[in-house]
Homo-oligomer: A and B are copies of this chain.
Amino acid sequence: MKKVAIGVDIGGTNTAIGVVDELGNVIVKDNIMTRTDGDVDLYVDDLTLAIRELIKSVKLINSEIEVMGIGIGAPNGNYYAGTIEYAANLAFKGIVPLVKLLKIKFPELQAISLTNDANAAAIGEMIYGGAKGMKNFVMFTLGTGVGSGIVVNGDLVYGSDGFAGECGHTTLFPDGRLCGCGGHGHMEAYCSAPGMKRTAFELMAKYNANNSLLANKSFIELDSKAIFEAAEKGDKVALEVFELTGKWLGISFADTAHHLSPEAIFLFGGPTAAGDYIFKPAKESMEHHLLTTFKNKIQILPSQLKPGDAPIVGASALVYKELEK
């Protein structure tokens, strides 16, 4: 009998679904549209059908397979209630009781569980990835936004209402840059991929940098990949973007460390592909901003989850965490 878990990653446009084995490998996967008409019941029907089809196909490969449950990563996912609540990027209005609806469709499954995507990534890292055996660590996902998932004593921190772990919205510079959430000066406005672009534009303005390799790109065109490529060619603006982003990440990581004293901080997402360009200044800045007690103890590590499959794999890990109880 080979155990597998279903991982579901709900995004604004697509929902990715995969069957994941106990080592974190995706055996089969599929995509459905995340309905944009806001009809929850029809969406649950679509999702149920897609999951049933995947289970069928995986049982054709190996009839001994046992499905342990479904784990879901979704924006504004409330772990305690099993609901998606007022998610700005999804068409579903108000509070969607997704776990309850799926339990009706899959009464045979022991565990159906939901949280936000960054929390799912943290659990994925703990079950399948680089955080195996760690009891205290924090995951930061750097992308369009900055998400985070916090693990204390081997358990994810959900807080009083199921929504803990929004470190991307801690304040780095009071009254600083406008954040996507409407707040000001948040870490996300500086350390996300769009934050790096904003930094590049600030620096080009500061230095009147017509000679920068980034100077021929519009605000819409420029992305963190282009900044990385320019840095590789020695572009001064691009290199300073990485220095500053690393410095700011390090300040935030030190703040998080002063709260939680983790063994490690894991980074996931596009900008981490830049490797030492981002890890080195982040580590230096974190160490600089730590109390003596915490210095030279905390690792900053790249996530061991495969970039493409990570959201599915992370979500599927929720199932194993749930079955531990």
- Chain A residues with a Cβ under 8 A of chain B: 76, 85-86, 135-136, 150, 152-153, 155, 157-167, 169-174, 181, 183, 251, 254-256, 258-263, 289, 291-294, 297
Contact B291 A166 (CB under 8 A): yes
Contact A258 B153 (CB under 8 A): no
> Given A170-B259, A174-B173, A260-B259 in contact, is the A163-B251 Cβ separation under 8 Å?
no
Q: Is the interface of A mostly helix, strand, loop or mixed?
A: loop
Contact B166 A258 (CB under 8 A): yes
From residue A260, how far is it (CB to closest CB) to chain B in Å? Answer: 5
Contact B259 A183 (CB under 8 A): no
From residue A13, how far is it (CB to closest CB) to chain B in Å? Answer: 22
Q: Give Cα A283–Cα B161 distance, bound, in whole angstroms.
A: 19
Chain B residues, Cβ within 8 Å of A256: 259
Q: Give Cα A161–Cα B150 distance, bound, in whole angstroms.
A: 16
Contact A135 B160 (CB under 8 A): yes
Q: Give Cα A228–Cα B31 distance, bound, in whole angstroms.
A: 62
Contact B293 A85 (CB under 8 A): yes
Chain B residues, Cβ within 8 Å of A162: 261
Q: Which of B85, B251, B259, B263 contacts A165 (CB 8 A)?
A: B259
Report 14 cross-chain contacts, Cβ distance below 8 Å, ordered by A residue: A86-B293, A150-B260, A152-B159, A160-B262, A160-B297, A163-B261, A164-B259, A166-B261, A166-B293, A167-B259, A173-B174, A255-B255, A256-B259, A259-B259
> Given A158-B261, A159-B262 in contact, is the A174-B172 Cβ separation under 8 Å?
yes
Q: Give Cα A297–Cα B160 distance, bound, in whole angstroms.
A: 9
From residue A226, how far is it (CB to closest CB) to chain B in Å? Answer: 27
From residue A124, how far is it (CB to closest CB) to chain B in Å? Answer: 20
From residue A111, how far is it (CB to closest CB) to chain B in Å? Answer: 19
Chain B residues, Cβ within 8 Å of A254: 170-171
